[in-house]
Chain A
């Protein structure tokens, strides 16, 4: 039966979706990028026995705000011979792909109602798909700068990212096998008795390593190494485009930390405290861990990190899946 106009319910859903999109993006911009950059600088300062930012706002907490306002007024420079359209769309692709992953993250629970944008049936698979879109943005950014070093950095980064997507997938599948579902909410609910980090320790380690590599964090940040490839695929990006790349990277890191919490650390589950608080505590514990590792370990060479992915994590991930499958099948 055909209706004469677009039904009201569709319009209502579109409005709700727009509002939640704006809310989530603002949240990501504040909690991932601004807080993330601030934490990074404070934690690195603490580990290196110095103070970090402390002037702008109490304890320097408004530092990133000041930086953003500064970047907004920087001149818009596009290198000569660079393809303007492609050059500008690269940071957009990275940012939007990273932020699209936030649709399936459950932030907590209010009574019976789970705080999630949409609980897709294929939640974690969707998340993996969005992470794989980020690669296109980085590759495009590296090429469109018309700069040898940026191109090399982009190619290397893309090789790294795709190599680590496979172990990431295997770790996710191991958890999905335990929970019997791909939905993030059901995975959290399946951790009622014990968190999956205890039932799947190997998958946990594989996921953490792959997540660090997927977000180009040290020890896997060769493609954007400041001292070698001159910030790699970032080299020609200045001002707000650079800020957008950073936003995308930090948003992706927070999303990966949140997904670690969902898959392995029991999501929002925990006694006494409200679930949202538990979720944030666990997620920021993972974020702190990522930052701690950054300032502790030296950078891996490109062949070392590719070997780690293909020759160590990939076989281990396969083995983990087989063992898990065997145990679960025999236990029936």
Chain B
């Protein structure tokens, strides 16, 4: 099992190196012709003004928050999914209760408008 993850680690490292390779090639052979206008931020030809951040809107935070919570629910489902067959009706009932409580959470978030974009 440790060897499996060794492969994953090596894949990651080799992946980063192989992805850097074309960037290195570009750095070596590409032309250099910098002038200030070329480095301006793109805004359809208009000179940009103001800071490059937008007004904080709480909807992004609420979506990612709901996502974290339901993601934790999903990770409880993974081990249950592979053992529940052997453990009988009791295991299914436990998960039913678990999912019911989290379904209440989803309904709450829905009703309170946490899942609205506007």
Q: Is the CB of A332 within 8 A of B15?
A: no
A275 to chain B, nearest CB (A): 22
A268 touches B (CB below 8 Å)? no
- B10 nearest in chain A by CB position: A17
Partner of A239, one of B12, B26, B48: B26
* Interface residues of chain B: helix, strand, loop or mixed (majority): helix
A238 to chain B, nearest CB (A): 10
Alpha-carbon gap, A302 to B60, bound state (A): 12
- A309 nearest in chain B by CB position: B115
Alpha-carbon gap, A318 to B102, bound state (A): 10
A165 touches B (CB below 8 Å)? yes
For A, the interface residue count at a CB cutoff of 8 angstroms equals 84
Q: Is the CB of A13 within 8 A of B12?
A: no
Partner of A76, one of B26, B103, B110: B26
Alpha-carbon gap, A96 to B15, bound state (A): 6
* Interface residues of chain A: helix, strand, loop or mixed (majority): helix
B52 touches A (CB below 8 Å)? yes
**A-facing residues in B85-105 (Cβ within 8 Å):** 85, 88-89, 92, 95-96, 99, 103
Chain A neighbourhood of B67, CB < 8 A: 162-163, 165-166
B58 touches A (CB below 8 Å)? no
Interface readout for A1-38 with B: 1 if CB under 8 Å, 0 if not?
Answer: 00000000010011001101110110000000000000
Chain A neighbourhood of B42, CB < 8 A: 79, 147, 149, 230, 235-236
Q: Is the CB of A17 within 8 A of B7?
A: yes
Alpha-carbon gap, A303 to B78, bound state (A): 29
Partner of B11, one of A99, A119, A326: A99
Known: A18-B14, A321-B77. A180 touches B85 (CB 8 A): yes
- B87 nearest in chain A by CB position: A329
- A314 nearest in chain B by CB position: B106
